[in-house]
Amino acid sequence: MAVPLAFFGLFFAYPVAAIVGRGLKTDAGWQFGRIGEVLARPDIADVLWFTTWQAFASTLLTLLIALPGAYVFARFEFPGKQLLRAVVTVPFVLPTVVVGTAFLALVGRGGLLDELVGVRLDTTVWAILLAHVFFNYAVVVRTVGGLWAQLDPRQEEAARVLGAGRFAAWRRVTLPALAPSVAAASLMVFLFTFSSFGVVLILGGPAYSTLEVEVYRQTAQLLDLSTAAVLTMVQFAALGGILAVHAWTVRKRETALRLVDPGRTTHRPRGWAQRTLLGGVLLTVALLIVAPLAVLVERSFDAPGGYGFGFYRALQEVGAGGGTFLVPPLEAIWNSLQYALAATAIALVIGGLAAAALTRRAGRFVRGFDALLMLPLGVSAVTVGFGFLITLDEPPLDLRTSWILVPLAQALVGVPFVVRTMLPVLRAVDGRLREAAAVLGASPLRAWREVDLPLVRRALLIAAGFAFAISLGEFGATVFIARPDRPTLPVAVARLLGRAGEMNYGQAMALSTILMLVCAVSLLVLERLRPDKTSGEF
């Protein structure tokens, strides 16, 4: 526990506290009065209001659209199910800048929707909400669907035998069993949409701003650190609340349910109602998730002089004349892979140790530690980035111009996923096995290798896959600290989108497609490794 604590202290708590402190402390001492002043400003109130209601609306809309999907994935057997489950998860790990681009290509000016029916949704709040559904569909399908597949349908059938109607049986039996996982999924979606940055920045236009966007604007543009500090504290408070509720529902969920092998609960759809439901879900997935991804791919091939690999070939060159990069954009793939590997290694070590510590101890302090590990998911990357700048500036830790900052920042976001994936498995390892091995003469190292390792190996691989995919897609922190000679894929995409000319736009599309492929492949590998018996939270 000491190592993860030190890691979080040094690379998260200290920088964030330093930058918040810098904002609130002047020569005249602490300025806590600023908190009230900032919160009373009408423009800040607007931001808070928009952040909150769009998060609520996004969460509701996501539940509404994804719950039928969760049911279909949990209970029906149909061809291509594995592949489709990987596909719906792709957006979740795609960087928001790509999601934004995909949506602009679909609902923006001259987009697919515009060409077909003349409807444009960019700079409306609908584009933001739909992008959030696209982004978080998999959270609901995996969290709720995972549990749903393991619920014994015979309990509901028993209720019906005893005279309950179809709906009453579902409401009385299945719903209560599902409720905690629905709550957990809602809270995760709420957390992600509450701290939404890229989606709002790209699709929102000048009229919309979330807390996260406002922190960025106040810090990076206006250098109004005290306002940024107050907003960061508001974000912390909101996060604390969300995480407390989350921890509570998770604990409730851990109270025993009768779970069965998911293989026994699925069947082919029967009758028109079930077929319609399946068709509806497939259509939703096609329109909402596959279509934006497909538009992206289509645009990447729409080169001047006919469809082809023109934009892909251009990726190998240093931009002619325009010079967006000091290196060919294609090198960004290699950079991204290296950073992601380093970030995965760090996240696995830190997250693994944290999960181990959480398994062996209990109590209020440990639960607090658990929540602490989740905090980086909801704290503005620019806050962390500026914090790095002012704290890691002295030898031996003058890391400000070092490449290690990128994987460190990415690992901060990866650790919560590692912990959440490993915890349930680690908790299931029977301590008596280890004791038995010791009694039989095994050294502690040998006992760990022979007992723990085989049991957690799969979970470890899954966690690694998640951490890897998240590092590949991470944008906020990376864009801030990536060195110009070593842009990552998402950073390269954003820079290409920021320049004039057809070639730049086309190359951005081509790079996004490559990023998507890399993500999809790592997810398919994940899907194969996924153990059936454990239901991690993702």
Partner 1 sequence: MSTTKKIAGAALAAALVTTLSACGGGDAKDKSAGTSDAPKSTTVTLVSHDSFNVTDTVLKEFEQQSGYTVKVLKSGDAGAALNQEILTKGSPRGDVFFGVDNTLLSRALDNGIFTPYEAKGLGEVKPEFQLDKEHRVTPIDSGDICVNYDKAYFADKKIAPPQTLDDLIKPEYKNLLVTENAATSSPGLGFLLASVGKYGDEGWKDYWSKLKANGVEVVDGWEQAYNERFSGSAGGKKAKGDRPLVVSYASSPPVEVLYAEPQPAEAPTGVATGTCFRQTEFAGLLKGAKNVEGGKALVDFLISKKFQEDMPLQMFVNPVTKDASLPELFTKHGVVVEKPTSVAPETIAKNREQWVKAWTSLVVK
User: Which positions lie near partner 1, rule CB under 8 A?
Assistant: 1-3, 22, 43, 108-110, 123, 201, 204-207, 217, 219-223, 304, 321-323, 326, 342, 345-346, 349-350, 352-353, 356-357, 386, 389-390, 393-395, 400-404, 407, 444-445, 448, 452, 479-481, 483-485, 495, 497-503, 505
- Backbone φ, ψ for residue 500 (5° rounding): -70, 165
Which of residues 342 and 467 has its CB atom nearest to partner 1 in the complex?
342
Question: Three-state DSSP class for 449?
Answer: helix
Which of residues 236 and 448 has its CB atom nearest to partner 1 in the complex?
448
| Least separation in angstroms between CB 107 and partner 1 | 13
Which of residues 254 and 393 has its CB atom nearest to partner 1 in the complex?
393
Please tell me what DSSP assigns to residue 379.
S
β-bridge mates for residue 482, sequence order: none
CA–chain centroid gap for 137, Å, is 11
| Measured distance CA(9)–CA(167) in Å, rounded | 50
Which of residues 34 and 483 has its CB atom nearest to partner 1 in the complex?
483
Q: Residue 96: left (phi > 0), alpha (psi -120 to 50), or beta?
A: alpha
Q: 100 is written with which tokens? A: 């934004």
Which of residues 23 and 465 has its CB atom nearest to partner 1 in the complex?
23
Tell me how far CA of residue 113 lies from CA of 1, 103, 110, 486, in angstroms. Answer: 52, 10, 8, 36
Which of residues 201 and 519 has its CB atom nearest to partner 1 in the complex?
201
| Least separation in angstroms between CB 498 and partner 1 | 6
Please tell me what DSSP assigns to residue 260.
-
| Least separation in angstroms between CB 311 and partner 1 | 14
| Least separation in angstroms between CB 221 and partner 1 | 5
Amino acid residing at 394: E
> Could you give the angle at the alpha carbon of 492 between the alpha carbons of 316 and 315, nearest 5°?
15
| Least separation in angstroms between CB 411 and partner 1 | 11
| Least separation in angstroms between CB 40 and partner 1 | 15
Which of residues 213 and 526 has its CB atom nearest to partner 1 in the complex?
213
C-alpha radius of gyration, the chain, whole number: 24
Q: 234 is written with which tokens? A: 């508001």
| Measured distance CA(365)–CA(481) in Å, rounded | 33
Which of residues 368 and 444 has its CB atom nearest to partner 1 in the complex?
444
| Least separation in angstroms between CB 293 and partner 1 | 20
110 touches 307 (CB < 8 A): no
| Least separation in angstroms between CB 243 and partner 1 | 26
| Measured distance CA(214)–CA(237) in Å, rounded | 16
